[in-house]
Amino acid sequence: MEGFGQILSDFLRSDEGQEKIKNYVNTNRDSLLSRYFEEELKKNTLEAEKAAQEEIA
């Protein structure tokens, strides 16, 4: 499995790998952004809840 990880890492750093990543991001931009914003909202909500509970205590 270690060898596969290195091969994948090398490919992703190559020009062809970078082009594949760009194409994937361009094709899936809206869903990736939506997922990012959902995760950020959840994280910020949890932080706000924790801060409010600490302030109440």
Give yes or no for residue 2 having a pLDDT over 80: no
Report the domain count for the chain.
1
Burial of 22 (0-12, 13-18, 19+ CB in 10 A): exposed
pLDDT at residue number 1: 67
Residue written as tokens 């750093």? 13
- Residue 2 inside a domain? The answer is no
Give residue-wise pLDDT tens across range 32-52: 999 999 999 999 999 999 999
Confidence tier at 18 by pLDDT (50, 70, 90): very high
Residue 19 lies in a domain: no
**Containing structural domain, residue 36:** 28-57
Give the mean pLDDT of the chain. Answer: 94
Average pLDDT of span 16-38: 95
Q: Examine the pLDDT at 17 and tell me if it is beyond 70.
A: yes
Residue at 4 is within a domain: no
Instruction: Using the structure block, give the residue that is written with the tokens 């205590």.
Output: 57
